[in-house]
Amino acid sequence: MKESTGNIGFLLLPAKWSVLPGVKNAYRKALQWSMGLLPLGVMLTAAAQFPRSITEPTAVDRGSKIWAKDCARCHGADAKGTNAAPDMIRSTVILHDRRENLRGKELAPFLKTSAPHNFNYSDKEASDISQFLSAQINKILRSGYNDKPQGLTSGDLEAGKAYFNGQGECAKCHSVTGDLAGVGKRYSPATLQQKIVFPQGGLGKKAPVEVTVKMPTGETVSGTLVSMDDFTATVKHQDGSVESVNIVAGSKVSVKNPYAEHEALVHRLTDADMHNLTTYLDTLQ
Protein backbone atom coordinates (compact mmCIF):
# COMPACT_ATOMS: atom_id res chain seq x y z
CA MET A 1 0.00 0.00 0.00
CA LYS A 2 1.39 3.36 -0.98
CA GLU A 3 0.56 6.66 0.72
CA SER A 4 0.96 9.96 -1.08
CA THR A 5 0.52 13.47 0.27
CA GLY A 6 -0.32 16.66 -1.62
CA ASN A 7 -3.00 18.10 -3.84
CA ILE A 8 -4.17 15.18 -5.92
CA GLY A 9 -5.25 15.17 -9.54
CA PHE A 10 -6.22 12.17 -11.62
CA LEU A 11 -3.42 9.93 -12.80
CA LEU A 12 -3.09 9.96 -16.59
CA LEU A 13 -1.66 6.94 -18.33
CA PRO A 14 1.16 7.24 -20.91
CA ALA A 15 0.67 8.06 -24.58
CA LYS A 16 0.79 4.44 -25.73
CA TRP A 17 -2.26 3.85 -23.48
CA SER A 18 -3.91 7.07 -24.66
CA VAL A 19 -7.31 5.40 -24.98
CA LEU A 20 -7.47 4.99 -21.22
CA PRO A 21 -7.69 8.45 -19.59
CA GLY A 22 -11.26 9.37 -18.79
CA VAL A 23 -12.71 6.09 -20.05
CA LYS A 24 -11.15 3.55 -17.73
CA ASN A 25 -14.42 1.78 -16.97
CA ALA A 26 -15.36 1.50 -20.61
CA TYR A 27 -11.90 0.24 -21.45
CA ARG A 28 -12.04 -2.36 -18.70
CA LYS A 29 -15.27 -3.64 -20.22
CA ALA A 30 -13.66 -3.65 -23.64
CA LEU A 31 -10.77 -5.68 -22.22
CA GLN A 32 -13.19 -8.15 -20.66
CA TRP A 33 -15.06 -8.49 -23.91
CA SER A 34 -11.85 -8.98 -25.88
CA MET A 35 -10.81 -11.67 -23.41
CA GLY A 36 -13.72 -13.79 -24.55
CA LEU A 37 -16.29 -12.72 -21.98
CA LEU A 38 -18.89 -11.67 -24.55
CA PRO A 39 -22.18 -13.51 -24.57
CA LEU A 40 -22.15 -16.42 -26.97
CA GLY A 41 -24.66 -14.77 -29.29
CA VAL A 42 -22.48 -11.71 -29.74
CA MET A 43 -19.43 -13.90 -30.32
CA LEU A 44 -21.25 -15.79 -33.03
CA THR A 45 -22.32 -12.52 -34.62
CA ALA A 46 -18.74 -11.31 -34.59
CA ALA A 47 -17.62 -14.57 -36.17
CA ALA A 48 -20.17 -14.06 -38.93
CA GLN A 49 -18.92 -10.55 -39.59
CA PHE A 50 -15.29 -11.66 -39.78
CA PRO A 51 -15.23 -15.06 -41.47
CA ARG A 52 -12.00 -17.00 -41.66
CA SER A 53 -9.81 -15.78 -44.50
CA ILE A 54 -7.49 -18.49 -45.80
CA THR A 55 -4.38 -17.29 -47.56
CA GLU A 56 -1.88 -19.27 -49.63
CA PRO A 57 1.72 -18.49 -48.66
CA THR A 58 3.01 -18.67 -52.23
CA ALA A 59 0.28 -16.29 -53.45
CA VAL A 60 0.96 -13.94 -50.52
CA ASP A 61 4.64 -13.93 -51.43
CA ARG A 62 3.92 -13.13 -55.08
CA GLY A 63 1.50 -10.42 -54.05
CA SER A 64 4.04 -8.90 -51.65
CA LYS A 65 6.49 -8.48 -54.52
CA ILE A 66 3.91 -6.73 -56.68
CA TRP A 67 2.93 -4.56 -53.74
CA ALA A 68 6.57 -3.65 -53.02
CA LYS A 69 7.10 -2.65 -56.67
CA ASP A 70 3.90 -0.71 -57.34
CA CYS A 71 2.25 0.28 -54.06
CA ALA A 72 4.57 0.33 -51.05
CA ARG A 73 6.11 3.73 -51.81
CA CYS A 74 2.79 5.48 -51.16
CA HIS A 75 0.77 3.03 -49.07
CA GLY A 76 3.63 1.60 -47.00
CA ALA A 77 5.31 -1.79 -47.06
CA ASP A 78 2.74 -3.14 -44.58
CA ALA A 79 -0.20 -1.41 -46.35
CA LYS A 80 -0.87 0.70 -43.25
CA GLY A 81 -0.45 3.95 -45.13
CA THR A 82 1.99 6.85 -45.16
CA ASN A 83 1.77 10.63 -45.30
CA ALA A 84 1.36 10.26 -49.05
CA ALA A 85 -1.49 7.74 -49.18
CA PRO A 86 -4.05 6.12 -46.87
CA ASP A 87 -4.12 2.87 -44.94
CA MET A 88 -5.35 0.14 -47.29
CA ILE A 89 -6.01 -2.65 -44.80
CA ARG A 90 -8.98 -0.62 -43.55
CA SER A 91 -10.21 0.25 -47.02
CA THR A 92 -13.83 -0.84 -47.53
CA VAL A 93 -12.89 -2.14 -50.98
CA ILE A 94 -10.13 -4.33 -49.56
CA LEU A 95 -12.23 -5.49 -46.60
CA HIS A 96 -15.10 -6.41 -48.92
CA ASP A 97 -12.72 -8.27 -51.20
CA ARG A 98 -11.41 -10.25 -48.23
CA ARG A 99 -14.76 -10.86 -46.58
CA GLU A 100 -16.36 -12.23 -49.74
CA ASN A 101 -13.20 -14.06 -50.77
CA LEU A 102 -13.30 -12.36 -54.17
CA ARG A 103 -9.57 -12.84 -54.75
CA GLY A 104 -9.21 -9.52 -56.53
CA LYS A 105 -12.25 -9.69 -58.85
CA GLU A 106 -13.42 -6.24 -57.79
CA LEU A 107 -9.98 -5.02 -56.78
CA ALA A 108 -8.54 -5.26 -60.30
CA PRO A 109 -11.03 -2.87 -61.95
CA PHE A 110 -10.78 -0.54 -58.97
CA LEU A 111 -6.99 -0.28 -59.34
CA LYS A 112 -7.38 0.32 -63.06
CA THR A 113 -9.99 3.09 -62.93
CA SER A 114 -9.60 4.76 -59.52
CA ALA A 115 -7.38 7.84 -59.87
CA PRO A 116 -4.47 8.17 -59.57
CA HIS A 117 -4.16 4.42 -60.19
CA ASN A 118 -3.98 2.98 -63.67
CA PHE A 119 -2.76 -0.58 -63.12
CA ASN A 120 -3.73 -3.20 -65.67
CA TYR A 121 -3.25 -6.31 -63.57
CA SER A 122 -4.06 -9.80 -64.77
CA ASP A 123 -6.57 -11.86 -62.81
CA LYS A 124 -3.71 -13.82 -61.25
CA GLU A 125 -1.81 -10.67 -60.24
CA ALA A 126 -4.94 -9.12 -58.74
CA SER A 127 -5.57 -12.36 -56.85
CA ASP A 128 -2.03 -12.33 -55.49
CA ILE A 129 -2.36 -8.71 -54.33
CA SER A 130 -5.66 -9.63 -52.71
CA GLN A 131 -3.97 -12.51 -50.89
CA PHE A 132 -1.18 -10.22 -49.69
CA LEU A 133 -3.64 -7.65 -48.35
CA SER A 134 -5.77 -10.36 -46.70
CA ALA A 135 -2.64 -11.62 -44.95
CA GLN A 136 -1.86 -8.10 -43.74
CA ILE A 137 -5.38 -7.79 -42.34
CA ASN A 138 -5.07 -11.18 -40.67
CA LYS A 139 -1.97 -9.94 -38.84
CA ILE A 140 -3.79 -7.08 -37.12
CA LEU A 141 -6.85 -9.08 -36.09
CA ARG A 142 -6.05 -9.92 -32.49
CA SER A 143 -5.90 -13.62 -31.74
CA GLY A 144 -6.34 -14.67 -35.35
CA TYR A 145 -10.11 -15.31 -35.33
CA ASN A 146 -9.89 -16.78 -31.86
CA ASP A 147 -11.71 -15.18 -28.98
CA LYS A 148 -8.79 -16.20 -26.75
CA PRO A 149 -5.48 -14.31 -27.12
CA GLN A 150 -2.54 -16.39 -28.25
CA GLY A 151 1.15 -16.24 -27.37
CA LEU A 152 0.73 -14.48 -24.03
CA THR A 153 3.17 -16.88 -22.37
CA SER A 154 5.83 -16.61 -25.04
CA GLY A 155 8.06 -14.49 -22.81
CA ASP A 156 11.23 -15.36 -20.91
CA LEU A 157 10.38 -17.09 -17.63
CA GLU A 158 13.62 -16.18 -15.87
CA ALA A 159 13.39 -12.57 -17.04
CA GLY A 160 9.83 -12.46 -15.69
CA LYS A 161 10.96 -13.83 -12.35
CA ALA A 162 13.77 -11.26 -12.20
CA TYR A 163 11.31 -8.46 -13.05
CA PHE A 164 8.91 -9.67 -10.34
CA ASN A 165 11.62 -9.59 -7.68
CA GLY A 166 13.50 -6.58 -9.01
CA GLN A 167 12.52 -3.73 -11.32
CA GLY A 168 8.79 -4.46 -11.17
CA GLU A 169 8.87 -4.36 -7.35
CA CYS A 170 6.04 -6.91 -7.26
CA ALA A 171 7.63 -8.80 -4.37
CA LYS A 172 7.22 -5.73 -2.14
CA CYS A 173 3.51 -6.51 -1.78
CA HIS A 174 3.05 -10.03 -3.19
CA SER A 175 4.44 -13.46 -2.42
CA VAL A 176 4.59 -16.45 -4.78
CA THR A 177 4.07 -18.71 -1.75
CA GLY A 178 1.37 -16.50 -0.25
CA ASP A 179 -1.31 -14.52 -2.09
CA LEU A 180 0.00 -15.55 -5.52
CA ALA A 181 0.40 -19.25 -4.74
CA GLY A 182 -1.34 -21.16 -7.56
CA VAL A 183 -2.27 -17.94 -9.37
CA GLY A 184 -1.42 -19.55 -12.71
CA LYS A 185 -4.01 -22.22 -12.01
CA ARG A 186 -6.68 -19.76 -10.92
CA TYR A 187 -6.42 -17.38 -13.86
CA SER A 188 -5.80 -17.59 -17.58
CA PRO A 189 -2.80 -15.68 -19.02
CA ALA A 190 -5.19 -13.05 -20.42
CA THR A 191 -6.78 -12.53 -17.00
CA LEU A 192 -3.36 -12.35 -15.38
CA GLN A 193 -2.42 -9.51 -17.71
CA GLN A 194 -5.65 -7.71 -16.97
CA LYS A 195 -5.07 -8.01 -13.24
CA ILE A 196 -1.54 -6.66 -13.58
CA VAL A 197 -2.83 -3.50 -15.24
CA PHE A 198 -6.30 -3.27 -13.64
CA PRO A 199 -6.17 -5.16 -10.32
CA GLN A 200 -9.31 -3.33 -9.22
CA GLY A 201 -11.28 -4.38 -12.32
CA GLY A 202 -13.68 -7.25 -12.80
CA LEU A 203 -16.06 -8.82 -10.32
CA GLY A 204 -15.47 -9.36 -6.64
CA LYS A 205 -14.73 -7.22 -3.62
CA LYS A 206 -12.45 -4.22 -4.20
CA ALA A 207 -10.04 -2.78 -1.67
CA PRO A 208 -11.15 0.80 -0.90
CA VAL A 209 -9.07 3.89 -1.60
CA GLU A 210 -8.99 5.97 1.57
CA VAL A 211 -8.70 9.78 1.48
CA THR A 212 -8.04 12.34 4.20
CA VAL A 213 -8.37 16.07 3.56
CA LYS A 214 -6.92 18.38 6.21
CA MET A 215 -8.19 21.93 5.84
CA PRO A 216 -6.10 25.05 6.72
CA THR A 217 -8.42 25.50 9.71
CA GLY A 218 -7.33 22.13 11.09
CA GLU A 219 -10.64 20.44 10.25
CA THR A 220 -10.18 16.94 8.84
CA VAL A 221 -12.48 14.98 6.55
CA SER A 222 -11.75 11.29 5.94
CA GLY A 223 -13.50 8.45 4.15
CA THR A 224 -13.53 6.11 1.19
CA LEU A 225 -12.85 7.88 -2.08
CA VAL A 226 -15.87 8.40 -4.31
CA SER A 227 -14.38 10.95 -6.69
CA MET A 228 -11.75 13.65 -6.66
CA ASP A 229 -10.24 16.32 -8.87
CA ASP A 230 -7.99 19.29 -8.21
CA PHE A 231 -10.80 21.23 -6.54
CA THR A 232 -13.13 18.82 -4.77
CA ALA A 233 -12.91 15.51 -2.95
CA THR A 234 -16.01 13.40 -2.37
CA VAL A 235 -15.81 10.67 0.27
CA LYS A 236 -18.14 8.10 1.74
CA HIS A 237 -18.21 7.69 5.52
CA GLN A 238 -18.68 4.46 7.44
CA ASP A 239 -22.31 5.31 8.16
CA GLY A 240 -22.97 5.46 4.41
CA SER A 241 -23.24 9.24 4.16
CA VAL A 242 -21.43 11.04 1.35
CA GLU A 243 -19.61 14.33 1.82
CA SER A 244 -17.88 16.66 -0.62
CA VAL A 245 -15.17 19.02 0.54
CA ASN A 246 -13.48 21.85 -1.34
CA ILE A 247 -9.72 21.54 -1.67
CA VAL A 248 -8.67 25.12 -1.00
CA ALA A 249 -5.20 26.64 -0.88
CA GLY A 250 -3.29 25.22 2.07
CA SER A 251 -5.26 21.97 2.19
CA LYS A 252 -3.34 18.72 2.57
CA VAL A 253 -4.67 15.62 0.87
CA SER A 254 -3.47 12.14 1.80
CA VAL A 255 -4.44 9.13 -0.27
CA LYS A 256 -3.95 5.51 0.74
CA ASN A 257 -4.36 3.67 -2.56
CA PRO A 258 -3.77 -0.10 -2.50
CA TYR A 259 -3.49 -0.02 -6.29
CA ALA A 260 -0.96 2.82 -6.50
CA GLU A 261 1.95 0.53 -7.33
CA HIS A 262 0.02 -1.04 -10.20
CA GLU A 263 -0.94 2.37 -11.55
CA ALA A 264 2.70 3.42 -11.42
CA LEU A 265 3.75 0.17 -13.08
CA VAL A 266 1.71 1.01 -16.19
CA HIS A 267 4.05 3.92 -16.89
CA ARG A 268 7.16 1.75 -17.12
CA LEU A 269 5.81 -1.64 -18.20
CA THR A 270 7.04 -2.61 -21.68
CA ASP A 271 5.59 -5.29 -23.96
CA ALA A 272 8.55 -7.53 -23.16
CA ASP A 273 8.08 -6.97 -19.42
CA MET A 274 4.39 -7.87 -19.70
CA HIS A 275 5.04 -11.08 -21.63
CA ASN A 276 7.91 -12.12 -19.36
CA LEU A 277 5.93 -11.41 -16.20
CA THR A 278 2.85 -13.23 -17.52
CA THR A 279 4.97 -16.23 -18.49
CA TYR A 280 6.43 -16.37 -14.98
CA LEU A 281 3.12 -15.98 -13.16
CA ASP A 282 1.54 -18.63 -15.37
CA THR A 283 4.05 -21.18 -14.00
CA LEU A 284 2.80 -20.62 -10.45
CA GLN A 285 0.54 -23.61 -10.55
Whether residue 25 contacts residue 106, with contact meaning beta carbons closer than 8 Å, is answered with no
Predicted pLDDT of residue 142: 56
Q: Go through the domains of the chain in sequence order and give each one's CATH number.
A: 2-40+149-205+260-282 (no CATH), 57-140 (1.10.760.10), 210-257 (no CATH)
In the predicted model, what is the mean pLDDT of the chain?
79
3-state DSSP of 16-53: HHCCCCCCHHHHHHHHHHHHHHCCHHHHHHHHHHCCCC
Whether residue 255 contacts residue 211, with contact meaning beta carbons closer than 8 Å, is answered with yes
pLDDT at 96 over 80: yes
Which of the four pLDDT bands, split at 50, 70 and 90, describes residue 198?
Answer: confident
Bigger pLDDT: 85 vs 51: 85
Dihedral (CA of 78, 80, 82, 85) sign: positive
Kindly report whether the global pTM for this prediction surpasses the value 0.75: no
pLDDT at 62 over 90: yes
Residue type, 57: P
Determine how many CB atoms are found less than 10 A away from the CB of residue 127: 21
Long-range CB pairs of 170-173 (<8 Å, 24+ gap) are 170/277, 172/261, 173/1, 173/261
Whether residue 94 contacts residue 104, with contact meaning beta carbons closer than 8 Å, is answered with no
Mean pLDDT of 210-229: 92
Q: How many residues does the chain have?
A: 285
CA separation for the pair 166, 249 (Å, rounded): 39
Predicted pLDDT of residue 40: 43
Which of the four pLDDT bands, split at 50, 70 and 90, describes residue 260?
Answer: confident
Q: How does DSSP classify residue 106?
A: T
Q: How many CA atoms lie less than 13 Å away from 97 in the CB half-sphere? A: 28
- 136-172 tens-digit pLDDT: 888 877 544 455 667 788 889 999 999 999 998 899 8
ω into residue 116 within 30 of 0, thus cis? yes
pLDDT at 38 over 80: no
Above pLDDT 70, what percent of the chain? 77
